[in-house]
Amino acid sequence: MSTVPPEAEAEILAELRRLRARVPQLTGALAASADGFVLAQDSAAAEAESVAALTAAALGVAQRLSDSTGQGAFRELLVRGEDGYVATYAAGLVAVLTLTAEPRVNVGRLHLEARRSSVRIAELIDHTLGRRGPTAPPG
């Protein structure tokens, strides 16, 4: 999957904007396919395509790491840098939610709100694709 219809993109974008309203320390939000294509973004940064591609690469490593250590299917990845965080969350089986945040973000709140949004994004994508069944791992 590399694109979603415009109406689904608008709904995903609305979810990204709601997420940024709930977590004001977010500096960017991106929904992408697991293979690195941008589905929707809410960020001033112009490099969404490169972030989506890097997310896909990191996702591959994170999935292998999770599998090889017996931790089960990939759920999320958090990177802390000097100037803030990058967090990636599974959004069903075919998409991911990647967020950038200021260093002062409450990481617990970030996880709570991002997990909720990733489930909603998975539902939107699965509805668009006509899928039935679970959209995110239980938990």
Instruction: Report the pLDDT value the prediction gives residue 39, as an integer from 0 to 100.
Output: 93
> What's the one-letter identity of residue 96?
V
Task: Assign 45 a pLDDT band (cuts: 50, 70, 90).
Answer: low
CB burial of residue 97 (10 Å; 0-12, 13-18, 19+): buried
Query: Which DSSP category does 111 fall into?
Result: H
Q: Compute the distance between CA of residue 89 and CA of residue 75 in angstroms, rounded to an integer.
A: 6
pTM, 2 dp: 0.87
Instruction: Report the pLDDT value the prediction gives residue 6, as an integer from 0 to 100.
Output: 83
**Number of neighbouring beta carbons within 10 Å of residue 57:** 10
Q: Compute the distance between CA of residue 68 and CA of residue 124 in angstroms, rounded to an integer.
A: 31
